[in-house]
A and B are shown apart, each in its own frame.
Chain A
Amino acid sequence: MMSATQEHSVSPHKQGQVRLQFENPPVTETAIGFYFQKIEGWHLLHQGVLWDKFLPKYPELETLPTILDVAPQQKVLFDLNSPTLRTGFTNRERTQLVQVQDGLLLHNWRKTTESPKYHRYAEIREQLREDWSTFRGYLRQRSLKEPVVSRCEVSYFNNLVRNEDWKDFSDLSEIFTVWRGLPHSNSYGTVQMAVFNVFYQLDSGVANIAVQPAIRSSDGKEIIQFTLTCSVTPKTSEDDELFHCLDECHENARRVFVDFTTDEVRERWRQIK
């Protein structure tokens, strides 16, 4: 989405055929994958056995907080004989992560100082395809049912570092088109901190934009984390449909990214038009 090597066209609406190519894209991590209904017969121990299948590429293991992600009408069931846990399988460099939980499989990529090259959506999609194939192969091997996917999702995490990408929160209007704030006034002064979260229903799927202050744990830098998530509900759980919906999520994310960021800031990220 925000790479020097991307050449996909953006939405045909206001931006026309714009190529998003950045020398210094703000994205630091990308997560793509599928949410599905709980699989009958799945047990936490399966995650341990499944890791064996991922081990050659992802030799590191970590446990992550469980994601509770349910529609409001649904009831959430917790089987105490098999608690739901999220596990992460990572490569040695900790730049690739497979998240597995009864109900989701996601692939994450992140940029690091040692490995700064941006990984395009197409590359991460191929990684996910492999992970998904490994996962489904395991289900078949164990005679478990095929997953019924309820949502395909793409998330981009963009870290905007203070004194590099912005100085004060009054700079937000130079970054985000939706943020106008209020003009300086003696009665309320200047904006000192801002948090906002926007949801959009698109023609296909939903987009969520969250902007909030944060701290980057690795170096203690103050950042604004700009999270962009797009999801699409697939009609079936066939692979072709799932990856088609994922492509739609990606395309939506590109359009939303262009709509929500100003021309100036994209120019600063050295977009080549």
Chain B
Amino acid sequence: MSTQVANWPLSAASIRVRPATASGQIRSSQLERVVRSDSAPWLPSLLFHLKILETSGRYIPGIGDFRIAENTANQVRRLLAFFSEQKLPEPRLAPFSGGGLALILNIEDQELTFTAYPGHNDFVYMQTNEDDEIVSDGVLALDQAGQISDLISAFLFSLA
């Protein structure tokens, strides 16, 4: 059975795929994986804010140390690669005293938070529902790619 994508709307047994124009498609590197702004439209804005935190974070005596180390920022950027695989709203960044940084995904009052601590190669994650009750939490490292992707997928699925 064949379906013409050019003639939307499609029949029930069809795949909804939007063809790119022949001349308008930017090629992607396949072996060296990168996350680009064409797959994650929020990326430029998030990178901008992350850079500000890296370069302008302050140590405020009596209040806290809000400087973000390059390694911590790199950890968060690597985590963003998983966010770009799915259609998500722009994640939010929240620094906290001690050089830590939380990456927060908020949809319909439900949250999924990944927290990076300086000097650590893993993230503490926590998912909460609309009543701020913890749905799941734990620790994941970046090499647990499957689990991170599953966690994000499960969070999106729970909203459906």
Q: A residues bordering B, Cβ < 8 Å?
A: 28-29, 31, 64, 66-72, 75-81, 83, 88, 90, 94-95, 97, 99, 108-111, 153, 155, 157, 159, 192-193, 195, 197, 199, 206, 208, 210, 212-223, 225, 227, 229
Are B31 and A217 in contact (CB-based, < 8 A)?
A: no
B13-44 CB contacts (< 8 Å) to partner A: 13-15, 17-23, 25-27, 29-38, 43-44
- Known contacts A31-B27, A217-B81; 11 additional CB pairs below 8 A are A28-B29, A28-B32, A68-B18, A69-B22, A90-B31, A155-B27, A159-B32, A197-B26, A219-B78, A220-B76, A225-B36
Are A218 and B33 in contact (CB-based, < 8 A)?
A: yes
Q: Among A66, A79, A99, A213, point to the contact of B43 (Cβ < 8 A).
A: A213
Contacts of A111 in B (CB 8 A): 32
Are B19 and A68 in contact (CB-based, < 8 A)?
A: yes
Chain B 72-113 against A: per-residue CB contact (8 Å), 1 yes, 0 no? 011111111100000000000000000000000000000000
Task: Provide 12 A-B residue pairs closer than 8 Å at the C-beta atoms, listed in order of the A residue.
Answer: A29-B32, A76-B19, A80-B14, A97-B31, A212-B38, A215-B78, A217-B35, A217-B81, A220-B75, A220-B76, A225-B34, A225-B36
Are B26 and A31 in contact (CB-based, < 8 A)?
A: no
Are B43 and A192 in contact (CB-based, < 8 A)?
A: no
Are B81 and A215 in contact (CB-based, < 8 A)?
A: yes
Q: B residues bordering A, Cβ < 8 Å?
A: 1-7, 13-15, 17-23, 25-27, 29-38, 43-45, 47-48, 51, 73-81
Known: A110-B31, A216-B32, A227-B27. A222 touches B3 (CB 8 A): no
Q: Among B17, B30, B43, B77, point to the contact of A68 (Cβ < 8 A).
A: B17
B72 CB → nearest A CB, Å: 10
Contacts of B45 in A (CB 8 A): 193
Are A214 and B3 in contact (CB-based, < 8 A)?
A: no
Known: A83-B15, A97-B31, A223-B34. A78 touches B2 (CB 8 A): yes
A89 CB → nearest B CB, Å: 12
Q: Looking across the interface, which residue of chain B has its beta carbon closest to that of A28?
A: B32
Contacts of B37 in A (CB 8 A): 195, 212-214
Q: Looking across the interface, which residue of chain A has its beta carbon closest to that of B43?
A: A213
Q: How far is the CA of A218 from the CA of B29 in the complex (A)?
A: 13
Q: How far is the CA of A258 from the CA of B33 in the complex (A)?
A: 26
Contacts of A79 in B (CB 8 A): 1-2
Contacts of B77 in A (CB 8 A): 215, 220-222
Q: Among A70, A90, A208, A225, point to the contact of B19 (Cβ < 8 A).
A: A70
Are A108 and B35 in contact (CB-based, < 8 A)?
A: no
Are A77 and B27 in contact (CB-based, < 8 A)?
A: no
A101 CB → nearest B CB, Å: 12
Contacts of B75 in A (CB 8 A): 220
B49 CB → nearest A CB, Å: 10
Q: Among A153, A155, A214, point to the contact of B34 (Cβ < 8 A).
A: A214
Q: Looking across the interface, which residue of chain A has its beta carbon closest to that of B71?
A: A220
Contacts of B44 in A (CB 8 A): 193, 195, 213
Q: Among A31, A80, A99, point to the contact of B13 (Cβ < 8 A).
A: A80
Are A213 and B33 in contact (CB-based, < 8 A)?
A: no
Q: How far is the CA of A157 from the CA of B75 in the complex (A)?
A: 23
Are A29 and B2 in contact (CB-based, < 8 A)?
A: no
Q: How far is the CA of A223 from the CA of B6 in the complex (A)?
A: 36
Are A220 and B74 in contact (CB-based, < 8 A)?
A: yes
Are A214 and B78 in contact (CB-based, < 8 A)?
A: no
Contacts of A229 in B (CB 8 A): 26-27
Are B29 and A77 in contact (CB-based, < 8 A)?
A: no
Contacts of A71 in B (CB 8 A): 22
B19 CB → nearest A CB, Å: 4
Contacts of A221 in B (CB 8 A): 74, 77
B6 CB → nearest A CB, Å: 5
Q: How far is the CA of A206 from the CA of B77 in the complex (A)?
A: 34
Are B35 and A78 in contact (CB-based, < 8 A)?
A: no
